[in-house]
């Protein structure tokens, strides 16, 4: 095993801040739906709206960082080894089978993760953002009698927002579980805290080639 700096500072900041915001949005959202009482309805609405705006700001910075750093390439879906990873997560992981491929600095996500993250970023998050903004501002400014969206149309928007919320919760639960599937139960968690991860060793030539590629990626 060799210790590599895999997750950069902003990547870790973005990851943990996003996780905290999604948790708070989930808690306040379900309270708004009347699932339970914790903050109180009015406070839950204010918190939900405030965190939602902060989440939009974070998303904007994250998009800029991914584009400027070249990290967007990590999420490009591929069918290579996809079937192998489906078999691994369905049965292989319970038999102690090794991961079908090795993780590297240039390939942090396996094919199944790339597919899930791509769907999250281009489908679920946009649905949540658009439906959330429509839900927040469908009657603004009220004095001009906006009629493009009425209360009947709002129920449809709320339905999409709720479906997106359940999709995010499902991803969140699966994500927490999958963090325990590294070479130790806490290795993936530690990597996202420190930035360093223990990767399987490769020959010197491969390591040097990867280092050069990482430098080019950092400079692009």
**pLDDT digit string (tens) for 20-60?**
999 999 999 999 988 888 999 999 999 999 999 999 999 99
List beta partners, residue 199: 2
70-120 pLDDT, tens digit per residue, is: 898 888 888 888 899 889 888 888 888 888 887 777 788 888 889 999 899
For residue 87 the two structure tokens come to 């078999």
For residue 50 the two structure tokens come to 């405030």
Per-residue model confidence (pLDDT) at position 27: 95
Angle, CA of 41, 45 and 46, to the nearest 5°? 120
**Res. 200: pLDDT tops 60:** yes
Per-residue model confidence (pLDDT) at position 126: 93
**Res. 204: pLDDT tops 50:** no
Domain residue extents for the chain:
2-219
Neighbours of 52 (CB within 10 A): 20
| Whole-prediction pTM | 0.79
Task: Say how far apart CA 27 and CA 149 lie, in whole Å.
Answer: 27
**Res. 212: pLDDT tops 70:** no
Largest CA distance in the chain: 69
Residue 19 CA, distance from chain mean position: 8
Per-residue model confidence (pLDDT) at position 80: 86
Mean pLDDT of the chain: 83
Task: Say how far apart CA 46 and CA 24 lie, in whole Å.
Answer: 12
Per-residue model confidence (pLDDT) at position 211: 47
Nearest to 49 by CA among 70, 25, 27, 30: 25
Residues 6 or more apart from 138 whose CB is under 8 A from it? 146, 149, 153, 154, 157
What CATH number should be reported for the domain whose range is 2-219?
Answer: 1.20.950.20
**Res. 8: pLDDT tops 60:** yes
Task: Say how far apart CA 123 and CA 161 lie, in whole Å.
Answer: 12
């Amino acid at each position: 095993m060799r210790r590599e700096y895999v997750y950069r500072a902003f990547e870790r900041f973005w990851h943990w801040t996003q996780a905290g915001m999604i948790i708070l949005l989930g808690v306040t959202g379900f309270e708004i739906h009347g699932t339970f009482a914790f903050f109180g309805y009015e406070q839950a609405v204010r918190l939900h709206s405030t965190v939602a705006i902060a989440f939009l700001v974070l998303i904007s910075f994250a998009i800029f960082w991914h584009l400027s750093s070249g990290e967007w390439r990590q999420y490009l879906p591929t069918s290579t080894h996809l079937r192998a990873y489906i078999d691994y997560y369905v049965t292989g992981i319970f038999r102690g089978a090794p991961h079908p491929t090795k993780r590297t600095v240039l390939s942090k996500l396996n094919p199944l993760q790339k597919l899930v993250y791509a769907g999250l970023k281009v489908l679920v998050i946009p649905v949540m953002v658009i439906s959330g903004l429509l839900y927040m501002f469908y009657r603004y400014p009220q004095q001009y009698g906006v009629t493009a969206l009425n209360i009947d149309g709002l129920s449809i928007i709320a339905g999409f927002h709720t479906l997106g919320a359940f999709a995010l919760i499902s991803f969140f639960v699966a994500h927490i579980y999958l963090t325990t599937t590294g070479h130790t139960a806490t290795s993936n968690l530690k990597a996202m805290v420190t930035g360093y991860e223990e990767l399987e060793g490769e020959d010197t030539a491969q390591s040097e080639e990867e280092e050069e590629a990482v430098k080019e990626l950092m400079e692009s």
